[in-house]
Structure 1
């Protein structure tokens, strides 16, 4: 089976370091070759894949006109990892947000978006301190330390969330509730000079999950996203740069296997993390080889299935994997091919019911747009 390897496209983690270098902040490399500016903002549109945008360009004329090149998001192609790449400037093997859910020694399987136990839903803020779970200095902390007015413009309910504390600490948090104040507050914080802000929009991803990417509801939402981008671009203050990116693309799952209903896939397994398109499988002591063989035998060519060491060596988690991150990666890692999915119908009833999914290594999930606007 052909093994997917990282391509030569720039990684999502290069965007903010390049923007901060363009702002004149020392210690960052401008690998994207961005021009010098006085103000910079990255707007992350959750779930906006490069291939989806190209296919539905008629719904997003402004974004399509601004698009410069595709980026790759790395593995897993999921929100926690993508947001962390923006917030740290490194890939998942270094920042440690290794999936939608993943095991952290001493804390169990963490749902990184909710910062709760994936087993019983209990809050893990008191067990797993976010600043310790992701100990690297964030891009926001480094920008603020350099004297740049630094802001995170995001939904109000996420202000004190574990993921915010882990990967977005250091920026002034500006809570918003809808498109209108997302645009207005983004423009307001950019009035400072020098300034850097991160803004986030989630609803395109949500509708892609529920109705499917490319569905009528998804296309209508893409039109609204395009209007949001247009509103910001038209009102950028002088010397400002806007970079619109995404954390992953999305596919429609058409062939799904219920792992919990397949005994061969559970033998020797003590925990399962990840999501439908990308699984971390944690094994009992001494069972890794048998579990790896069983998953390969049952699933076959519907997924790329590697041991932890094989996945790391293949560069799935980036060029470097920190020692404290390694245990978070499954003893066996499974990345779905084509339109396949690995569901946990009982443990993940809501997630298993969704039409659109992401997390794996296909180009539809990996490639996202880099759209740039300047004033």
Structure 2
């Protein structure tokens, strides 16, 4: 963020992304490289950016590949709890790190993972986002309030391109995600095999890998457990250990000529309840804001449209910066776009990004009890912001 934008948004405060403990996503080295690289490695050479991505990640050629995405398994989270994951720990030394985009949340990351494009291109700019057509909130996980997936997310997916090249593509995940809005937006293409337990998903993946193929396996329980108990909890460690055992079995059972890739969509921090604000109960945060979108660690604030919208945005930014102090970096949306928070931004996506955007520091959060469920207000583990714990994810590989 440039100094003038920071100063104007934070009432003259000197904070920058670096001094706030933040890192800006490197959009040349995000999880968007993984599927193009894997596609090129297994012979789907028409995927744009595939050869360069494969060179960047150092993937060898192979007959088939299995890509496992573990929701919420940030690299720093894994490293700090690695004693409970001996198999994954054994891969860390030879592995590398990538980053999610901003915000560091599932919807945005899955858009980048599935297309290779930034959130500013996919329109997957948060857990919730303003729907430019209706003006209301669209939930980009449940897809409530959003337009059709292909209208919202217009970029071609890697799965579509690999399938068009004649290579089998199979996604393995829970039945409820088959044909869902998020799946159609970010991961459309190929076939979908429903399996609920992790052992069943591993078994399905191994069956689908009998021929030349790209198999994608999703596991969400690490993220779910972190949300409810925190990533520092005993329950999170137990879930990590269960994951580790099944991934070790998957690796042992791979047919020869298979590349296994394990990665994640984002990491996680545990909340500090003393650093939580509720927009509904805080007049200075509520004033002048027509719609609060995003999530508790990464907020989009929309002001009423009109000739004075720019002035309103500046006023909202000043009030939020004064209220939150060092718990947040507050920026005008145009400044955040110009400074690359969302990567390249398409014209139709810009209205989905807030007039003001807010990234929370440390373990702080801002909630809005007017629109969030009671359960979501009580989450322990959260993500979305620009800290290394949230942004940095592992890239671990096994060659059979």
CA distance in 2, matches of 1:250, 1:233: 26
- Aligned partner of 1:230 in structure 2 is 248
Superposition deviation, residue 181 in structure 1: 1.2
Which stretch has the larger CA shift, 217-226 or 78-87? Answer: 78-87
Superposition deviation, residue 7 in structure 1: 5.6
Q: How does 1:173-252 map to 2 (within 5 A)?
A: 173-193=192-212, 195-252=213-270
Superposition deviation, residue 99 in structure 1: 0.6
Q: Is the 8 Å Cα contact of residues 23 and 388 (structure 2) preserved in structure 1?
A: no
- Aligned partner of 1:152 in structure 2 is 171
Superposition deviation, residue 169 in structure 1: 1.0
- Aligned partner of 1:120 in structure 2 is none
- Matched residue pairs, number? 364
Residue from 331, 339, 353 that aligns with 1:306: 331
Q: How does 1:161-172 map to 2 (within 5 A)?
A: 161-172=180-191
- Aligned partner of 1:121 in structure 2 is none
- Aligned partner of 1:138 in structure 2 is 157
Superposition deviation, residue 131 in structure 1: 1.2
Which stretch has the larger CA shift, 341-350 or 287-296? Answer: 341-350
CA distance in 2, matches of 1:64, 1:5: 25
- Aligned partner of 1:63 in structure 2 is 88
1:315 and 2:315 matched = no
1:24 and 2:48 matched = no
1:2 and 2:16 matched = yes
**Runs (5+) with no aligned partner, structure 2:** 1-14
Deviations along 1:1-39, one digit per CA (max 9) or x if unpaired, are: 022453658211111111111112223232312111111
Q: Is the 8 Å Cα contact of residues 71 and 220 (structure 2) preserved in structure 1?
A: yes
- Aligned partner of 1:115 in structure 2 is 143
- Aligned partner of 1:45 in structure 2 is 70
Deviations along 1:54-111, one digit per CA (max 9) or x if unpaired, are: 1111111101112301111110000111111121111211111111000121132111
Superposition deviation, residue 190 in structure 1: 1.3
Deviations along 1:175-213, one digit per CA (max 9) or x if unpaired, are: 1111121101111111121x1121100011111010111
Change beyond 3 A, Cα 1:7–1:266: closer
**Runs (5+) with no aligned partner, structure 1:** 118-123
CA distance in 1, matches of 2:207, 2:229: 34
Deviations along 1:305-356, one digit per CA (max 9) or x if unpaired, are: 11111111221112x1111111111111101000110011342122111111
CA distance in 2, matches of 1:311, 1:226: 38
Deviations along 1:266-306, one digit per CA (max 9) or x if unpaired, are: 12111111111110111112221111111111112211111
- Aligned partner of 2:367 in structure 1 is 343
Q: How does 1:77-96 map to 2 (within 5 A)?
A: 77-96=104-123
Q: What is the Cα-based RMSD across aligned positions, in Å? A: 1.3
CA distance in 2, matches of 1:163, 1:297: 36
**Bigger share in strand:** 1
> 3-state SS of the aligned residue for 1:299?
helix
Q: Is the 8 Å Cα contact of residues 335 and 360 (structure 1) preserved in structure 2?
A: yes
TM-score normalised over the length of structure 2: 0.89
- Aligned partner of 1:73 in structure 2 is 100
- Aligned partner of 2:380 in structure 1 is 355
- Aligned partner of 2:5 in structure 1 is none
CA distance in 2, matches of 1:228, 1:333: 40
CA distance in 2, matches of 1:224, 1:5: 31
- Aligned partner of 1:101 in structure 2 is 128
> 3-state SS of the aligned residue for 2:384?
coil
